[in-house]
Structure 1
């Protein structure tokens, strides 16, 4: 077996794509319709907690952008996260935050 000189560089570049900060963009986005009913709430909670940091308040457009990296229907995931108590929002829906962290 003989390896090319670029083997290690190529392998490291491939790993960086899969493990780097933008790796999420390489995979398929989650569709609510593809989830079993008992998987929906945990999936919505996991995605919401992934895109909103503790103590962070996020505008609706920014939240939609973040959610869109992971899911096919950002509005559904955003609304469901509020309905299930994972996210809280201002009365006008302008800002969102993790509900379990308080206002």
Structure 2
């Protein structure tokens, strides 16, 4: 499967298209552009449609950009997606949101390592590092959220609901 050239741009295109198609007024405006009728004069339609980088006002479509986006979406549906998606740049600062994200990361780690396994701190850190930069924060928040249990000496970790 080809490696996408620009994952964020392709995902942005797909997201914008879905959002446009969900709004009848924008859907009609996009239809008019695609049929060659030109862009709407209504600023509420023209504004959002002007952000589409794959179609011009005359309805000319950048087929290569759409093919790239389709390849990215196919890749993200495959087992190779993990190889393309970057780590989280940061964990949310609000405690509740942080614990939710960290808990999700911990569950993913143990789904992949084995739900019933016990991992050393080093093994857990290495697995968490695939998802986030601040492994200590993820580890602590996952314990505080009750997703992970830690041995008394802090050297091993288990998924709480696997006990």
Q: What TM-score do you get using the length of structure 1 for normalisation?
A: 0.71
**Structure 2: where are the runs of 5+ without partners?**
1-70
| Residue of structure 2 equivalent to 1:70 | 131
Residues 26 and 101 of structure 1: CA distance in aligned 2, closer, same or farther (over 3 Å): same
Residues 87 and 39 of structure 1: CA distance in aligned 2, closer, same or farther (over 3 Å): same
The structure with higher relative contact order (CA 8 Å, sep 6+) is 1
- C-alpha distance in 2, partners of 1:73/1:100? 24
Greater CA drift, 18-27 or 63-72: 18-27
Point out the structure with max Rg over C-alpha. Answer: 2
- C-alpha distance in 2, partners of 1:56/1:78? 16
2:154 matched to 1:96?
no
Deviations 1:26-64 (A, max 9, x none): 2221211xx262422211111100001321111111110
**Structure 1: where are the runs of 5+ without partners?**
1-10
Q: How many residues align?
A: 89
| Residue of structure 1 equivalent to 2:117 | 56
Runs of 4+ that moved beyond 3 A = 17-22
